[in-house]
Amino acid sequence: MRLLIVEDDAMLADGLVRSLRRGGHTVDSVDTAERGWLAMQNEAFDLMILDLGLPGSDGFDLLRRLRRADNYVPVIVVTAREAVADRVRGLDLGADDYLVKPFAVEELEARVRALIRRRSVGTPPELRCGDLVLDLSTREARVGGVPVELTVREWTILELLATQPGVALAKSRIVQSLSRWDDPLSQNAVEVHVSRLRAKIEGCGARIRTVRGFGYLLELPGAP
């Protein structure tokens, strides 16, 4: 999943970025509401972690602006404001969760996972495609019951394809899910990751098929 952190405390933002990247997420960070707005306008993110006490326009303003633009990306508000009125205001403006500082990074990570699960209504905790099984809670893959070692980017590609089997996914969408501003990814690099994935899941019954000029899809066993 690709996450955006909007936080002006550089030390906190850096710590969150590093922790969430270790958890397997693609993470970028900005320090103002305006930069958060521009990022959301130009990139595809799966979730936002939003501080309220930002310089200039605050987090409330950014949240209101997003929802008025019909952008319903999941938002976890993190703030030092403990007043119930602030929590109510944030939730009323469209926040999905609220965490008061200081907090344990492990709790934030758990809330990120929970929110992503809630937004993936109908997606089971395990995805089965032939003998390939993806455990979404532990981020583990198995072929015929045998664990398959995947890099973070390989897992992300496989998860994207397995959640929509038989549906072609554009290379550009994969690039956006995998790229960070400080570590951009080319479409050629995606081809390399897909090639390695094919080798690792070979024999599972499902296969990653190239849709010429567009992208890839995960083809289930027995598909015409």
Residue linked to tokens 């070979």: 202
Quote the pLDDT of residue 23.
82
Name all domains of the chain by residue range, CATH numbers in brackets.
Answer: 2-119 (3.40.50.2300), 126-219 (1.10.10.10)
- pLDDT tens string, the chain, 224 residues long: the values are 789 999 999 999 999 999 998 888 889 999 999 999 999 998 888 899 999 989 999 999 999 999 999 898 899 999 887 778 887 888 888 898 988 888 888 889 888 887 876 765 545 567 888 899 988 777 889 998 999 999 888 988 998 888 888 888 888 888 878 877 777 788 888 999 999 999 999 989 889 999 998 999 999 876 65
Closest alpha carbon to 51 in 117, 121, 98: 98
Closest alpha carbon to 36 in 70, 60, 12: 60
